Structure 1
Amino acid sequence: MAKRTSDVTESGAVEAPDLESSAVDAPKHGFFVRLYTGTGAFEVVGRRKLWYTISGVIVAVCIASMVLRGFTFGIDFEGGTKVSMPAAGVTTERVEEVFSQALGKDTETVVMVGNGPSATVQIRSEALNNDETTKLRDALFDAFQPKGLDGQPSKQAISDSAVSETWGGQITNKALLALVVFLVLAATYIAVRYERYMAISAMATLFFDLVVTAGVYSLVGFEVTPATVIGLLTILGFSLYDTVIVFDKVEENTHGFQHTTRRTFAEQANLAINQTFMRSINTSLISVLPILSLMVVAVWLLGVGTLKDLALVQLVGVIVGTYSSIFFATPLLVTLRERTELVRTHTRRVLSRRKPTAERSRRAPETTAPDDDTDAEQETVSAVSSAPATGKHAVADKPVPGARPIRPTTSRTGRPAGKRNTRRR
Structure 2
Amino acid sequence: MSRLSGLRSVGHKLYSGEIEYDFVGKKKRWYALSALILVLAVAGLLGRGLSQGIEFKGGAVFTVNKPGLSVSQVHDAIEEFTGSHEPIVQKVGSNQVRAQIASKDTGNFNNIKEALSVKLGVAPDKIDSELVGPSWGKEISKKALQGLVIFMILVVIYLSIAFEWRMALAALVALIHDIVITIGVYALVGFEVTPGTVIGLLTILGYSLYDTVVVFDTVKETTRGITKQNKITFSQAANRGLNQTLVRSINTSVVALLPVGALLFVGGGLLGAGMLKDIALSLFVGLAAGAFSSIFIATPMFADLKERTPEMRQLAKRVAQHQAAQAKAAARGEGEGAAKSAAPAGADADEDRDDDDDDGEPAAAGSTPRTSGSSSGGVRRQPTRNRSRNRPSGKRKH
Shift of 1:139: 1.7
Distance 1:43 1:35, change over 3 A: farther
SS in 2 for 1:190: helix
Q: Is the 8 A contact 1:96 1:106 kept in 2?
A: no
Q: Is the 8 A contact 2:207 2:290 kept in 1?
A: yes
Distance 1:338 1:418, change over 3 A: farther
Distance 1:354 1:307, change over 3 A: same
- Deviation per CA, 1:267-321, whole angstroms, max 9, x where unpaired? 1111111111122122212222332343356326754311111111111111111
Is 1:202 the counterpart of 2:171? The answer is yes
Distance 1:75 1:51, change over 3 A: same
The answer for the alignment partner of 2:127 in structure 1 is 158
Tell me whether 215-224 or 330-339 shows the greater mean CA deviation: 215-224
The answer for the alignment partner of 2:374 in structure 1 is none
Q: Aligned equivalents of 1:423 and 1:347: distance in 2? A: 79
Structural RMSD (CA) = 3.0
TM-score by length of 1: 0.72
The answer for the alignment partner of 1:317 in structure 2 is 286
Q: Is the 8 A contact 1:261 1:353 kept in 2?
A: yes
- 1:299-378 equivalent positions in 2, closer than 5 A: 299=268, 303-357=272-326, 359=328
Shift of 1:93: 5.0
Shift of 1:424: 4.7
Is 1:189 the counterpart of 2:158? The answer is yes
- Deviation per CA, 1:123-182, whole angstroms, max 9, x where unpaired? 32313445x122212221222224xxxxxxx22221221121222222221111111111
Distance 1:285 1:331, change over 3 A: same
SS in 2 for 1:98: helix
Identity score, percent: 37
The answer for the alignment partner of 1:43 in structure 2 is 22
Distance 1:327 1:222, change over 3 A: same
Q: Aligned equivalents of 1:126 and 1:98: distance in 2? A: 17
Tell me whether 290-299 or 136-145 shows the greater mean CA deviation: 290-299
Is 1:212 the counterpart of 2:181? The answer is yes
Q: 2:56 aligns with which of 55, 77, 85?
A: 77
Q: Which runs of 5+ in 1 are unaligned?
A: 1-28, 147-153, 364-384, 386-414
Tell me whether 209-218 or 35-44 shows the greater mean CA deviation: 35-44
SS in 2 for 1:81: strand
Q: Aligned equivalents of 1:358 and 1:189: distance in 2? A: 44
Give the counterpart letter for 1:278 in structure 2: V
SS in 1 for 2:90: strand
Q: 1:134 aligns with which of 103, 110, 125?
A: 110
SS in 2 for 1:161: strand
Q: Is the 8 A contact 1:35 1:278 kept in 2?
A: yes
Distance 1:287 1:181, change over 3 A: same
SS in 1 for 2:308: coil
Distance 1:268 1:287, change over 3 A: same
Distance 1:341 1:420, change over 3 A: same
- Deviation per CA, 1:335-378, whole angstroms, max 9, x where unpaired? 11111111111122122222345737999xxxxxxxxxxxxxxx
Number of equivalenced pairs? 339
SS in 2 for 1:43: coil
Distance 1:107 1:89, change over 3 A: farther
Q: Is the 8 A contact 1:118 1:303 kept in 2?
A: no
Shift of 1:423: 6.9
Shift of 1:30: 6.1
The answer for the alignment partner of 1:8 in structure 2 is none
Shift of 1:45: 1.1
Q: Aligned equivalents of 2:300 and 2:239: distance in 1? A: 8
